[in-house]
Structure 1
Amino acid sequence: MIALLDYGAGNVRSLRNAVHALGFALTEIERPEDILCAERLILPGVGSFGAAMRRLEELGYLKPLKDYLSAGRPFLGICLGLQILFAGSEESPGVPGLGIIPGQIRRFPGEGLSVPHMGWNAVRLQKHSPLFTGYAGEPFYFVHSYRALPGPENADWQLAFTDYGRPFLSAVQRGAVCAVQFHPEKSGQAGLALLRNFLAGTSASAPAIPLGDPTPTRLTKRIVACLDVRTNDQGDLVVTKGDQYDVREKTEGRAVRNLGKPVELAERYYQEGADEIAFLNITAFRASPLADQPMLEVLRRTSERVFVPLTIGGGIRAYTDGEGRSYSALAVAHAYFRAGADKVSIGSDAVLAVEDYLARGRVKDGSSAIEQIAAVYGNQAVVISIDPRRVYVNSPQDTPHTVIETRFPGPKGERYCWFQCTIKGGREGRDLDVVELARTCEALGAGEILLNSIDRDGTGAGFDLELIRLVRESVSIPVIASSGAGCVEHFAEVFCETGVEAALAAGIFHRREVPIEAVKSHLITQGIEIRNGEGASTPRHD
């Protein structure tokens, strides 16, 4: 019996779907005594170390779980499922872990690194393991702010290292008990192969790479395919794309552009090598997010076919429905995580939350969607989608906002500009600049910035490098560059010129003007570290 211990945190649907896609039956743990009946046990986890331990205790799972592990029975921990095997974590001082592995979980120190460690990275195997039978050096998907460090106290557990700053433990194993820091269910074919090895009880054989390879692993750049989803005039859910946020055709009738069906397009991009898929619901959600069953169904169906990270944006906020029932932003996010999302994207509500926070004198009160979701699901689960536009000024003294001297003068020859944040799909500007918004969202607990540009959207003129560089240098969390890509050279340019971790495109992928494979092939020629297609990666370089 293969059993899943789901204690209610994060997107477990994708793991279930991966197991089923591999042809294995899965049993759910429903009572504490079910744990000791399992023949193979999987424990996934996201979010806070302390919240996970408290939830396991509330459900009565701690003692039978410790008994199962102490007996050395087959076990696979995933992400937080690795970390709680240790004695404790800096994330939750005073909260004991399971104590199976000695040592404390430590936060990444920053020091020039973006935190969370988010994206595709490889592992360096230290010993043979059935888990990595056939492994040939492909990258896996990581997303975490805390990590386990190798040391003499855990030497007998050390299975694999990954490098980000200094080496950390990306896989541990002693006997039949093993755990990985990455998400195999979100790691494409390489991750599915690892899951299959565990589920089938594969015998150990030599991997396709040497053990103890000292060559550092590297975090790859990510290519994100974005699908703007809305109902068309006939009521069908379609993928569309606008020019400067206008999604209607220029022809008579002004119909909504229909570029395909969401699930089918997402699956196509997965097969073509997209590193992540982002859905942005641009018209539903406005009245009642949890009543938007078609979008929830899109997530459910996509997670059955697509085994890379999924982000959902649009309407992640508190609201009151037509019958007077109130729902928190956390409740809305929970529904989308359980439907298959790995991250939620917050747009207009992030701007309003920052304005409230600044009005309170920069005092956190836990009221914002950013704070609430990050506290339960972790910073890495919260993406802030920013929609800025240029406002030109003659001099930096003309505005209190962060100003740059631009290479692209304004309509009256202005040499300076600032980037104004907007809400409501760019229709309303606010007295808030992009640097203050990005920094404040990071302080509130966001784990990633999706940086759009109203000025470049749909133009094909290239990413706004001045905007992107400004934000990348202002925060220590990962940044996704968006808006304006028109050719493969634009992707190499944004990575080389700004240092962002990811680049996103929509229309050029939908219309096959610039295929994802072509983007990655060009990046390889430029020496940019990427995951080369579905399940492959570029060679590591010294």
Structure 2
Amino acid sequence: MTEIYLLDYGAGNVRSVVNAVSQLGYTLKEVQKPEDILKADKILFPGVGAFGQAMEALERKGYTEALKAFVKSGKPFMGICVGMQVLFEGSDESPETPGLGIIKGRVQRFTNTDKSVPHMGWNRLLIAKEQSLIQHTAPHPKSLAQQQGIDHTQVYYFVHSYAVPYSPAQQQWTLTVTQYGNEQFISSVQLGNMFCTQFHPEKSGPAGLALFRAFLERPVTTLPLGEHPPVGSVVYRDIPLSPRDYFTTRVVACLDVRANDRGDLVVTKGDQYDVRDRETADGDVRNLGKPVELAERYYREGADEITFLNITSFRNIPMQDLPMLKVLQEASRTIFVPLTVGGGIRNITDPDGRSYSALEVAGEYFRSGADKISIGSDAVYAAEAYWQNQGRKLGNTAIESIAKAYGAQAVVISVDPRRVYVADPSDTLHHVLETKFPGPNGERYCWYQCTVKGGREGRDIDVHQLVTACEDLGAGEILLNCMDRDGTNSGYDLELIADVKRAITIPVIASSGAGRVEHFSEVVRKTGVEATLAAGIFHRKEVPISQVKDHLDQSGFPIRHMVPL
């Protein structure tokens, strides 16, 4: 029986990898000690988070020498993201920490000035290495990329700030290259039975599952590094820099999850944040479906990501939030695109008096299937403290602790602002915009006040202050709502979104106000956001996800085309 082991060093969401393998009919054993690595027939090594923490964990567990020996032995090995990066000599993310040194080269931070960092979303693989197939070796011989399950016509999910720049020095190892902005980096390496990806197959939908299938079905053979299967001579391709990359616009489906008056978790949507149905006799929470069922529908319809926002009372004791954790566990079994969860992620003390850090709370969500966590009110409090500290990091905020452990890409800041109109910029100390939509008394200027507690309480901090502080504290993405546009179907607040995009270098998800397909292309074209989000219009099937993506495609924006499940 083939012994397939999962090497989990304790960071990030490996549940999705386990679920992907299970979906294909295989089971994984978990590496418990160095000897497990040496006796394995195959090893799957997913990595999430910081390079230095990964290497320190491998060293602490005594895995480094055994892992190097396994890879060099030529047995089938598959690494993912940081699981690929640690094979190199080192990383600028952790300059003092050496990598395994199996591959020459160094992991470097993107230097893009025309693109947001992290590189977060779906992108294409360009084949850099092939074999000249010998005739009559097989009726339909597969290329090197096909042997790994790669389909060059598809896109795959990336989420990283550091990568290995593509160079002829790594030509022997490089299977595919990906372009992001004006930079090219190695998106997969292959030599012998070793195959690693910078992207996440477990989050790349059906196209990603095909890579796992190819790895799992591969015969257990020993093919030492430096050798290729005896099919033909290797051909290396030049990959010229293209005038544009194939980084796609993400379409995100958002589910506000809350317990109704009977205690059942439902997906709801409010009118200006009021989620109760005032047209029914009981005035219960508006019920638009069950969370897992609705999320699975969106996955089938082609959603690029799914966000669960936990707005129920369970969020007050998230470590006992069994219903929401169960939603994540069930959803991650069948949904293979990124899952984000938000609500109640902060330092908490439960009713029994036991305290938990925000890092512990986030870890529980990650272990249950989340890929990213969304922080709302606590981000506002952290930003206030940051500015009170004269714009210096505090070292103890939820954003900092979670980003340090899991990487910036794992931390999303959910911003709930509302407009405050002023007659003249001098009337406030806050960052002011001149607006095309005057206030009730003809005011031509406004600032955006951040709110907490689900929009119920305004704070003396503006959006500009919030997002710049959160980026410096280590957040990797902004989910930008707008209370004035929520539920209006009148389109995104372009003034707000464009201003935030100018202020920061991390990706932005536009939210609130979409009512028709043209709103999605308009916000991407006019503001340059990396992703668009909607909720109610998807729930009520007023605007199907497929129509949004078709419209974006016809408007000239790269999208992920849905692969049949």
TM-score, structure 2 length as denominator? 0.92
Once the 2 structures are TM-superposed, how far is the Cα of residue 131 of structure 1 from its aligned partner? 4.3
State the AA in 2 paired with 1:193.
A
Deviates more, 1:21-30 or 1:162-171: 21-30
1:467 matches 2:472: no
1:231 matches 2:259: yes
Structure 1 residue aligned with 2:177, among 161, 184, 195? 161
CA distance in 1, matches of 2:150, 2:191: 20
Structure 1 residue aligned with 2:369, among 335, 340, 347? 340
1:199 matches 2:201: no
State the AA in 1 paired with 2:101.
G
Q: Deviations over 1:439-493 (max 9, x none)?
A: 1000000000000000000111111111111101110000000000011111011
Whether the 8 Å contact between 1:188 and 1:535 is mirrored in structure 2 is no
1:379 matches 2:408: yes
Which residue pairs with 1:292 in the alignment? 321
Helix, strand or coil at the partner of 1:504: strand
Structure 2 residue aligned with 1:411, among 440, 446, 450? 440
Helix, strand or coil at the partner of 1:473: helix
1:245 matches 2:273: yes
Moved over 3 A (4+): 130-134, 202-206, 210-217
Instruction: Classify 1:455/1:98 alpha carbon distance in 2 versus 1 (closer, same or farther; 3 Å).
Output: same
Whether the 8 Å contact between 1:124 and 1:211 is mirrored in structure 2 is no
Once the 2 structures are TM-superposed, how far is the Cα of residue 361 of structure 1 from its aligned partner? 2.0
Aligned-pair identity in percent equals 60
State the AA in 2 paired with 1:172.
V
Which residue pairs with 2:510 in the alignment? 481
Whether the 8 Å contact between 2:127 and 2:152 is mirrored in structure 1 is no
Which residue pairs with 1:401 in the alignment? 430
Stretches of structure 2 that go unaligned for 5 or more consecutive residues are: 131-143, 220-228
Instruction: Classify 1:382/1:275 alpha carbon distance in 2 versus 1 (closer, same or farther; 3 Å).
Output: same
Instruction: Classify 1:480/1:316 alpha carbon distance in 2 versus 1 (closer, same or farther; 3 Å).
Output: same
Whether the 8 Å contact between 1:270 and 1:534 is mirrored in structure 2 is no
Which residue pairs with 2:190 in the alignment? 173
Following superposition of structure 1 onto structure 2, how do residues 249-260 of structure 1 map, counting pairs within 5 Å? 249-251=277-279, 252-260=281-289
Once the 2 structures are TM-superposed, how far is the Cα of residue 522 of structure 1 from its aligned partner? 1.0
Helix, strand or coil at the partner of 1:304: helix
Deviates more, 1:182-191 or 1:22-31: 22-31
State the AA in 2 paired with 1:75.
F
State the AA in 2 paired with 1:154.
Q
Whether the 8 Å contact between 2:204 and 2:336 is mirrored in structure 1 is yes
Whether the 8 Å contact between 1:343 and 1:382 is mirrored in structure 2 is yes
State the AA in 1 paired with 2:562.
G
Following superposition of structure 1 onto structure 2, how do residues 40-55 of structure 1 map, counting pairs within 5 Å? 40-55=42-57
Whether the 8 Å contact between 1:227 and 1:278 is mirrored in structure 2 is yes
1:116 matches 2:118: yes
Whether the 8 Å contact between 1:272 and 1:534 is mirrored in structure 2 is no
CA distance in 2, matches of 1:212, 1:341: 38
Q: Deviations over 1:271-319 (max 9, x none)?
A: 0000000000002344311100110010000000100000000011011
Whether the 8 Å contact between 2:393 and 2:472 is mirrored in structure 1 is no
Once the 2 structures are TM-superposed, how far is the Cα of residue 212 of structure 1 from its aligned partner? 5.6
Once the 2 structures are TM-superposed, how far is the Cα of residue 531 of structure 1 from its aligned partner? 0.8
CA distance in 2, matches of 1:369, 1:205: 52
State the AA in 2 paired with 1:242.
G
Structure 2 residue aligned with 1:423, among 438, 445, 452? 452
Structure 2 residue aligned with 1:147, among 158, 163, 166? 163
CA distance in 1, matches of 2:63, 2:529: 41
Stretches of structure 1 that go unaligned for 5 or more consecutive residues are: 537-542
State the AA in 2 paired with 1:143.
V
Whether the 8 Å contact between 1:284 and 1:292 is mirrored in structure 2 is no
Instruction: Classify 1:217/1:199 alpha carbon distance in 2 versus 1 (closer, same or farther; 3 Å).
Output: farther
Which residue pairs with 1:540 in the alignment? none
Instruction: Classify 1:135/1:189 alpha carbon distance in 2 versus 1 (closer, same or farther; 3 Å).
Output: same
Once the 2 structures are TM-superposed, how far is the Cα of residue 211 of structure 1 from its aligned partner? 6.5
CA distance in 2, matches of 1:41, 1:494: 43
Helix, strand or coil at the partner of 1:370: helix
Which residue pairs with 1:433 in the alignment? 462
